[in-house]
Copies of this chain bind each other. A is one copy, B any other.
Amino acid sequence: MSVRTPDPNPGWLNEADLHEARRRLPMVYVEAIPVRQDSLGYVTEVGLLYTADDDGRFYRTVVSGRVLYRETIRAALLRHIEKDLGSLCLPQLPPSPTPFTVAEYFPYPSETGLVDDRQHAVSLAYVVPVSGECQPRQDALELSWLSPDQVLSDDVQGEFVGGRGQLVRQALGHIGFTG
C-alpha cells in the first residue's frame, strides 16, 4: 500500500488497498429501501432490485453501497440511489440522519444473522420515498415494485441473500405495515 507516494486521488483507496482494508476495518455502508407512497403517506409499493452474483445465482436486493472518505451519509445515499435507480427517480431523502436500523454484516455467520463474504460492514438503513421514473442499474436485471404483502411472502423472502430479507421486514415494521 503505497499511500506515502503521490496519489492522483488522495484520500481514496485503489482496488488492492480497498481489498486489504476490508479485511482490517469495518466499512461504513448505507442502504435504501425505495418505496412509493399514497397521498396519506402509506407505503403502497417497495422497490426491489433483481440481480445475479458472480456464480450466476439470481437474488433480490436493495440499494446499497459504501460511504467514501470525506463523503457525507446524505451524499452517499443520493449517489447510490441514483446509480441503482437512475437520475430521474426523484428520491425524497429523510430530514433526519437517524436510520431505521443499523445492520451489521460480518464475513462469517454471526449473532446478527447478516452476512457479507467480502467484509465487515456497518450499514445505516433508510426508507426512501421516490416519486419519479426509476430504471434499474446496468448490472441489475430488473427493478420490481411489489406490495408490502408480496415482499413478506415466502417466495420473495426466499430470494434475498445475506439476511436482507430480514432488513426489508424490519423496514416494513418500521413504517407500521400491519400485514
- Spell out A's residues near B (CB within 8 Å): 1, 3-4, 10-13, 17, 20-21, 23-28, 35, 37, 39-43, 67-75, 77-78, 92-102, 104, 106-107, 110-114, 120, 122, 124, 127, 129, 163, 166, 169-170, 172-176, 178-179
Contact = CB atoms under 8 A, between A and B. Distances in A.
Given A98-B102, A173-B173, 17 more contacts: A10-B23, A26-B68, A35-B95, A40-B74, A40-B75, A41-B78, A41-B93, A69-B120, A72-B110, A73-B104, A95-B127, A95-B129, A95-B174, A113-B179, A170-B173, A172-B173, A173-B174
B3 A74 contact: no
Copies of this chain assembled into the complex: 4
SS class of chain A's interface: helix, strand, loop or mixed? loop
A151 to B, nearest CB: 13
A174 B174 contact: yes
Nearest to A13: B24
Nearest to A114: B178
Contacts of A122: 28, 67, 73, 122, 124
B11 A21 contact: no
